[in-house]
Amino acid sequence: MYAQMVETGVKSVKSTTEMSSEEQAFQARIDAEIKIEPKNWMPEAYRKTLIRQISQHAHSEIVGMLPEGNWVTRAPTLKRKLQLMAKIQDEAGHGLYLYSAMETLGADRDEEVQKMHEGKAKYSSIFNYPTLNWADMGTIGWLVDGAAIVNQVPLQRTSYGPYSRAMIRVCKEESFHQRQGYEILLHLMREGNDAQKEMVQDSINRFWWPVLMMFGPSDAHSPNSAQSMAWKIKRHSNDELRQRFIDQTIPQLQILGCTAPDPDLKFNEETGHWEYGEIDWTEFFEVLKGNGPCNKERVAQRKKAIDEGAWVREAAVAYANKKQQRNAA
């Protein structure tokens, strides 16, 4: 979801007899729910997969600031503007918690950011969609952050200690994001005029399917799931999380007085779950390949921020050196 289709580089999960004694001890530790810490021995594939997963997660938080930043200067009131800025600052914070966790695996932050700029590392597909109206700020908080919460809550128990601790911090803050988003929509639906209500429905119509895609392809098409589950860096299947999200979201959708753009959506009395229509995975894979509506714009904006901020970072070092020399004198 925030990390989609993370490659493990492993063709099939090793059985205990195929493992070296170090691998067996490592797997036993994971099976016993004992966290793996930076200095513990770990298989190279575990380290690399985690770097890919955590960096992708971090890049998503950072790129995720862009669609929201689009509305800071146009927020309808000062109150909404302050809330939006606080949320965006949180996303930056979440990105930094995650980059720190990634660095404990020996990865270099600059190099990993560079990989994203070169298109070698991904970020969540959802941030390649444009934010066209103010209601999109509500929909992102409610649905996008809502989907993120469903994914991140189980990741608090992930096997890698620093990742788990970063997730615990992130989850504490996400609930503000979701509630502020839902409140934006509720306010528009309850106090708004017809045009404002239509704006909410239009926003939900555009984001509904891309949000469901955030959880990644169906279990049958997730070749990396088995290894990631064995390592406990993924704790539930994509379909399971998607179902959990839909079941908790539909009642909230009804309270808003809105609908989902899915004619096949219906409640199954027997299973107690909502059934949903076919997801257009062609669109998902196109967006991942870089052909979504905003891929080029997002990456270009991130590169620009890094390049044009270079002088600030250099000046900070020059100033720190000067201060040090003055103190030494």
Partner 1 sequence: MADWTLFEVFIRSKHGLNHKHVGSVHAADSEMAIENARDLYTRRNEGVSIWVVPSASITATATDEKEALFDPSDDKIYRHAGFYKLPDEVGHM
Let me know: does 253 contact 259? Beta carbons within 8 Å: yes
Cα–Cα distance for residue pair 204/89, rounded to 1 Å: 24
**Is residue 50 part of the contact set for partner 1 (CB under 8 A)?**
no
Distance of closest approach, residue 318 Cβ to partner 1, in angstroms = 9
The Cα 132–Cα 292 span in angstroms is: 15
CB 147 within 8 A of CB 245: yes
Site string for partner 1, 163-182 (x = CB under 8 A): --xx--x---x---------
Residue 96 touching partner 1 (CB under 8 A): yes
Two structure tokens written together for 42: 């770990």
User: With CB under 8 A as the contact rule, which of the stretches 5-13, 107-115, 131-139, 208-216 interacts with partner 1?
Assistant: 107-115
Which CB sits closer to partner 1, 221 or 323? 323
In whole angstroms, the minimum distance from the beta carbon of 324 to partner 1 comes to 7
> CA 216 → CA 116, 234, 253, distances in Å?
19, 12, 22
* Among positions 89, 175, 248, 291, the unique one binding partner 1 when judged by CB under 8 A: 89
Q: Return the bridge partners of 36, or none.
A: 160
Alpha-carbon gap, residue 279 to 262, rounded angstroms: 10
Residue 22 binds to partner 1 (criterion: CB under 8 A): no
Give the distance from CA 102 to its chain's centroid. Answer: 15
| Gap between the terminal Cα atoms of the chain | 54
Contacts of 43 (CB under 8 A, 6+ apart): 23, 26
* 281 vs 319, beta carbon nearer partner 1: 319
Q: Which residue in the set 31, 37, 275, 297 belongs to the binding site for partner 1 (CB under 8 A)? A: 37
Please pick, from the candidates 40, 175, 248, 254, the single residue that binds partner 1 as defined by CB under 8 A.
40
Write out the binding residues for partner 1, residues 288-317 only, by CB under 8 A: 313, 316-317
Task: Please select the residue that binds partner 1; options are 23, 35, 47, 103, rule is CB under 8 A.
Answer: 103
For 66, the token pair is: 């862009």
Q: Are 70 and 132 in contact, with CB atoms under 8 Å apart?
A: no
Question: Least distance from C-beta 145 to partner 1, angstroms?
Answer: 16
Interface positions with partner 1 (CB under 8 A): 37, 39-41, 86, 89-90, 93, 96-97, 100, 103, 108-110, 165-166, 169, 173, 313, 316-317, 319-320, 323-324
